[in-house]
Structure 1
C-alpha cells in the first residue's frame, strides 16, 4: 500500500513539475537562438515599415501558418489512427509541441518525442514508426516537385546549375541519384506493409514487431490521403513565399519563383541540419537560387527570415505553451 502511494506521489510530481520545467527550458533556448540570428534586426525594421501598406498580406501569412500546421495535425491524426484515436485539437498540440522539441534534437527525433507525449503510455513508442511515414510522405512531394523544377529550369536555360556549385556532369549525376531515390521511397511508401512483414522474419525485428505493427494496417486509400495532405502543405509553403516576395519587393516571373522555391526545398531536404540551424542554410540556398532571378538580396534574405519566424519559431513558442499541459503519466495503452 505504501509502495503504491509513493508511486502515485512520484507520478503527480512528474506530471506537474516536468511540464512547466520543459516550458522554461524550451522558452529560454528559443529566445537565445532568436537573439543569435544576424539578419533579424534589419528584417524586423523592414517588416514594421511594411505593416502599414501590406497588413492584409501579413494577416494572410499568419492564417496560412495556421492552415499549414492544421494540415500537419490532420495528417498525423490519420497516421496515428491504427495506434490510438486522437482529436484534431490533440493532433495540433502534439505537432506544435513536437516542433518545439525538434528545434534542438536533430533527425526528427525531437518531433517524435514531443508528439508521443500526447498518447497513452503503452502507445508512445508505437507512434514513432507511423510518424516517420508522415515525414516520408512530405519528402516524396519535395523530391517530385524539386526534380520537376530542375527540369523546368534546364529547359528554360536558367543557370540553376550554378546555384548548386556543381559541374554539369555532377549536376546530372545528382539528378539521376535523386530520381532513383524518389522511386525507391515511392516503393517503400506504398509497399510499407509488405516491407514490414518481410523484415519481421529478422529475429531482432520480430522481438520488437509490436512497435511497427501499425504499418501493416495502412491501405492505399490512407496512403494517398496522407500524400494529398502533404501536397496541400507544400502548396501552402509556396504561396507563403510568393506573398513574402510581394511584400519585400522581390520581383521575378511567377513560374521562375515557384520553380526556385521547389529547388530550394529540394536542396534543403538533402542537406542534413537541425531546424534551429536551418535559417543559415535556407539563407545561403535562397541567395544562390533567387540571386540569379532577382537583384533584391535584402528582400530575399528578409523573406527567408520572416518565413522562418512565422512557420517555425512562433509555432514552436505556442508548442512550448502546450507543453505546460502535458501529463507524462496517463492511462496505459494497449
Structure 2
C-alpha cells in the first residue's frame, strides 16, 4: 500500500517539477557554452545550406536508437511482465528524463519501472541492469579497439604518455573480461549471491536473472551494438553538417574513445556531461581536424538530439503518469 501523501506527490508534483527543473538546467547548460554568439551564426548558415538533410537524418536516427533500447527492455522484462513496444518506448523516454540529473544516468531505472506493475518493480530494475550491462560491455569493447588505433596519435600529440596508454589499455581489457564472465554466467553469479547470508532475504529479486540464457544475452549485445553504431553515425553526419571534414573511421575511433571515457568518469548529464564530452571530443577529433567550432557544435547537437529532446518528451509523459498510477492504486 502506498501512503496517500506519496501518491499525491507522484501524481501532481513530481512530473511538473521535473519538467521545470529539466528546462531550466538545459537553458543554463547551453548559455554557459563559450562562443555562443558565433555558434548561433554558424548554425544559421548551416541550416540554409543544401546539407541540412544530414541534420534531419541525425534527428530521425534518434527515434531508431531509442527504439532499439525500448525493444531490448521489452525483451528484458518479458519474463515478469509482458508490455507493448509503445509502452516500453514511453518507459525508456521517462527513464531518460529521470537520468538527466543523476550520476551516470542511474535514475533511468526509476523512470522505467513506473510502467511496471506494483510488486514487480524491484525485479524489473534488476533486469534493467542487465540491459545496461550489455551496453556498457559494447562501449568498453569498441572503446578498447578505438584506443588501440589511437594509441600512437595520442602519444605523438602528448595527450598521454605511452606508459599511461598501455596501463589504461590493459586495465580496460582486464575489466572487460571480468564483465563478460559475469554477464554470460549470470545464473552462476545468482547462485553465489544466494549463498551469502546478507543477500539471502533478497534472493527473490535475483531469481529473475536466472531466466537469461546465452541466446537472449547475445541478443541484448547485438541490439547494443546496433545502438552504438547509430551513435557513431549520428556524430559522423553532424560533423559533416558543421563542416568538419573527416573520415568515418577517424570519427569511429575518436567518438568510441570518448564514449569509453564517459562510461568510466562519473558525470551528471545536465551539469558535466556536455562540457566533458566537448573537451574530450576537441582533444580526440582535434587529432584529425582543427575545426573546433564545428566539433563543439556537433557535440552540442548530438547532446540535444539524443538526450535533451527525449528527456523533454519523457517529462511530458511523466506529467501524465498520474493516470497510470491511478489505475494501479485505485484500491488505495
Same fold (TM over 0.5): yes
How does 1:17-166 map onto structure 2 within 5 Å? 18-38=14-34, 40-53=36-49, 54-154=51-151, 158-161=152-155, 165-166=159-160
Alignment of 1:263 onto 2:257: yes
Secondary structure of 1:318's aligned partner:
helix
Tell me the distance in 2 between the aligned counterparts of 1:93 and 1:40. 33
**Cα 1:38–1:125, aligned 2, differ >3 Å: closer, same or farther?**
farther
Tell me the distance in 1 between the aligned counterparts of 2:78 and 2:212. 10
Tell me the distance in 2 between the aligned counterparts of 1:7 and 1:153. 55
Tell me the distance in 2 between the aligned counterparts of 1:57 and 1:289. 22
Aligned twin of 2:238 = 244
After the TM superposition, which segments of 4 or more aligned residues of structure 1 sit over 6 Å from their partners? 6-10
Tell me the distance in 2 between the aligned counterparts of 1:199 and 1:295. 51
**Cα 1:149–1:25, aligned 2, differ >3 Å: closer, same or farther?**
closer
Alignment TM-score, normalising by the size of structure 2 = 0.90
Deviation readout 1:34-73 (Å, 9 max, x if unpaired): 4444455543332222122222111111110111111111
Kept in 2, the 8 Å contact 1:197–1:216? The answer is no
Tell me the distance in 2 between the aligned counterparts of 1:63 and 1:183. 35
Tell me the distance in 2 between the aligned counterparts of 1:110 and 1:182. 24
> What is the aligned residue count?
325
Alignment of 1:280 onto 2:275: yes
Tell me the distance in 2 between the aligned counterparts of 1:44 and 1:96. 28
Which among 289, 292, 302 is matched to residue 294 of structure 1?
289
| Alpha-carbon RMSD | 2.4
Kept in 1, the 8 Å contact 2:54–2:241? The answer is yes
Tell me the distance in 2 between the aligned counterparts of 1:106 and 1:177. 23
Structure 2: tracts of 5 or more residues without a match: none
Structure 1: tracts of 5 or more residues without a match: none
Range 232-241 or range 25-34, more displaced:
25-34
Range 135-144 or range 21-30, more displaced:
21-30
Which among 170, 177, 186 is matched to residue 183 of structure 1?
177
Kept in 2, the 8 Å contact 1:68–1:236? The answer is yes
Alignment TM-score, normalising by the size of structure 1 = 0.89
